[in-house]
A and B are shown apart, each in its own frame.
Chain A
Amino acid sequence: MNWADIFFDGVLAALGPVGAAYALSAIGLNLQFGYTGLLNFGHVAFMMAGAYGTAITVEFGGSLWLGVVIGVLAGAFLGLLLGIPTVRLRADYLAIVTISIGEIMRLVARSGFAEPLTGGVFGIQAFANDFFALNPFSPGARYGWGQFVFQGRALFVTLVGWSLVALGLLLTWKLVRSPWGRVIRAVREDEDAARSLGKNVFLYKLQALMVGGSLGAMAGVLLAIEQQNVTPNSFEPKVTFFLYVIVIVGGAGTIVGPVVGALIFQFLFFFFDSLMLSAQGQGYLDWAGFDATDAAQVKLVLVGLGLMTLMAFRPQGIFGNKEEMLIGDT
């Protein structure tokens, strides 16, 4: 087996556009869950709102840029819509409603009656040509050093993606260090205490849902553009839980935690993917009778083990503060 190839498969996936999209989405989830304590179990719905918002706008004759704006606004609007009836209630209600909305949106998008709008199970394709028309790199050429190479098309999306991540980080950094950030952390710690000190807890939760939701939607837009394709089945509930893993592994309630979490998650996922495929391809797994499908399943087990190891040694996340985490437990 070529370990260098396997390693670089992981590295390139982590640094690629999908890694950037996960990082951006996790930044939004972290603002809601890590800083405000909102149990949003349907973050994938925000990504879906962004992706479909963009694709449908273009499909109906709008420009891609209008689509991006509409996609991001759709994320904020979804936060408002979900938040108004639920954030007054206990945390579990928000969790139930958000996980349901995610599934409802996915099932509606793939159903027959929505097909004229969403394209049903096949989704919507080829709506991001305006974006790729701006690509300063030549799409087919290879850029990089040694094994660290991106094709021109991917390089463009990657650079735009990580720039958006940088902007997302800047926004969270400005927000959580401001007095607004102090209030949302207070809401996370004890809503009633915040209320007794004159803070409109309802409004802060709504704002956190909306800002985090817009970041999630932006990530959805990025994924959609990268793939030039939106289909309902890319927005399964597991995406939300991947994002939770990312936030927690990186360190919930820390600024760069989600980004590092996304890098680790993507790396582990594609490192083990490449490892198992290559091991199976070369017959190392024949003794167990594994075919390629089995190898892919085992890969998930290994990813899980890797993440569990990280949690066992750093339960507070890579960037988390152990003292802070222990206080939170008592």
Chain B
Amino acid sequence: MTRESPLAGVAPEPGVAKPDPILVVEHISRAFGGLQAVDVGRLEIQRHTITSLIGPNGAGKTTLFNLLTGFDHADDGHWHLDGGALVGIPAYRVARRGVVRTFQLTRSLARLTVLENVLLAATDQRGESLLGGLLTPWRRIERANIVKADELLERFGLEHMRDEFAGSLSGGQRKLLEMARALMVDPELIMLDEPMAGVNPALTQSLLHHIRGLREAGKTVVFIEHDMDVVQEISDWVVVLAQGVLIAEGPPAHIAANQDVIDAYLGRHHGEAP
């Protein structure tokens, strides 16, 4: 916790420029019929930090995730990762560019084993092409990948479930598996959609520990979270969405005291005498 934040000198105002951004959104918007789900101006994500994305229900957090990772198409906008444009690129290519996301409802591949779930995420397996699977010596690459996958499973405490179907894991174990799987891709930027939702307090601590571990390993993390205690504890920076618009960003302590944010969560007239 004594770590010097690279964002120490950055002004806590929406759209502020960061010293070393990995992801830069210049503008992004998406409407569903008459509802403007996301309409965000400038947003920069600092490299090697943990950024929380918060906001009331329906604020457009998951939609923003979907747009940035190619799972949904923006009506308009421009954003880039390390200078390379990501607009209009299908989800699987976004993943190959080093941006991996998880889902609010965990997506474990139920009838694959835990090990297979992780192996699937390897990016260097040429045996994944139709002819490659038949003709190339994919087993050599596979052996190296299994070593790596086993390390990840051990790190996330899943090694005893290695050969079980992922569908037989508990809810919390699935969250851990999803994170291990995301790491197997070796991403630069990991986007976690409510990793702590529906998880018991002990597991929350373990997940927080793993998320910090990601930052230590040189990854950048963006995650959606509702629990302000968790956000306070772990974030280097907090971004607040409300009704699709970026209303505030800044260090966690600053956000907790921000009147606009409190208003967005609780309504503008809270605390006033009726």
Residues of A within 8 A of B (CB): 174-175, 178-183, 185-186, 188-190, 192-201, 207, 211, 253, 323-324, 327-328, 330
Contacts and interface: CB of A to CB of B under 8 A. Distances in A.
A175 B109 contact: no
B243 interface: no
B168 A327 contact: yes
Given A182-B112, A189-B112, A324-B111, A197 B100 contact: yes
B69 interface: yes
Nearest to B141: A179
A211 B111 contact: no
15 contacts: A180-B134, A185-B116, A186-B120, A189-B111, A189-B112, A190-B109, A193-B109, A194-B120, A195-B95, A196-B101, A196-B107, A197-B181, A198-B123, A327-B168, A328-B111
A207 B131 CA distance: 11
Interface in B159-216: 165, 167-168, 181-182, 185
A219 to B, nearest CB: 20
A186 B112 contact: yes
Given A183-B128, A190-B109, A197 B167 contact: no
Contacts of B77: none
A206 B138 CA distance: 22
B127 A180 contact: yes
- SS class of chain A's interface: helix, strand, loop or mixed? helix
Contact of B185 (A190, A194, A195, A197): A197
Given A182-B112, A193-B103, 16 more contacts: A174-B134, A178-B133, A180-B130, A180-B133, A182-B116, A186-B109, A189-B110, A190-B109, A193-B107, A194-B92, A194-B109, A195-B92, A196-B69, A199-B120, A323-B168, A328-B111
Contact of A197 (B71, B95, B129): B95
Contacts of A178: 127, 132-134, 138
Given A178-B133, A186-B120, A196 B103 contact: yes
Contacts of A183: 120, 128
Interface in B120-159: 120-121, 123, 125, 127-130, 132-134, 138, 142
B119 interface: yes
Nearest to A323: B165
Contacts of B51: none
A174 B108 CA distance: 25
Nearest to B191: A196
Nearest to A188: B111
B241 interface: no
Q: Which 9 A-B pairs have the closest CB atoms?
A: A178-B133, A180-B133, A327-B167, A198-B95, A193-B107, A179-B127, A189-B109, A195-B91, A179-B128
Contacts of A200: 90, 92
A211 B130 contact: yes
Given A195-B95, A327-B165, A179 B142 contact: yes
Contacts of A193: 103, 107-109
Interface in B34-67: none
Given A182-B119, A198-B96, A192 B103 contact: yes
Contacts of B95: 195-198
B116 to A, nearest CB: 6
Contacts of B102: 196
Contact of B167 (A179, A188, A196, A328): A328
A273 to B, nearest CB: 37
A58 B185 CA distance: 51
Contacts of B125: 179
A186 B130 CA distance: 15
Contact of B110 (A174, A195, A198, A328): A328
Contact of B71 (A189, A192, A199): A192
Contacts of B132: 178-180
A330 B111 CA distance: 11
Interface in B72-96: 90-93, 95-96
Nearest to B142: A179
Contact of A324 (B108, B165, B182): B165
A15 B165 CA distance: 36
A199 to B, nearest CB: 6
A197 B180 CA distance: 12
A197 B110 contact: no
A324 to B, nearest CB: 5
Nearest to A325: B111
A164 B109 CA distance: 33
B92 A198 contact: yes
Nearest to A200: B92
Given A178-B127, A179-B127, A181-B133, A198 B167 contact: no
B34 to A, nearest CB: 25
A183 B119 CA distance: 10
A194 B116 CA distance: 12
Contact of B130 (A195, A207, A324, A328): A207
Contacts of A190: 107-109
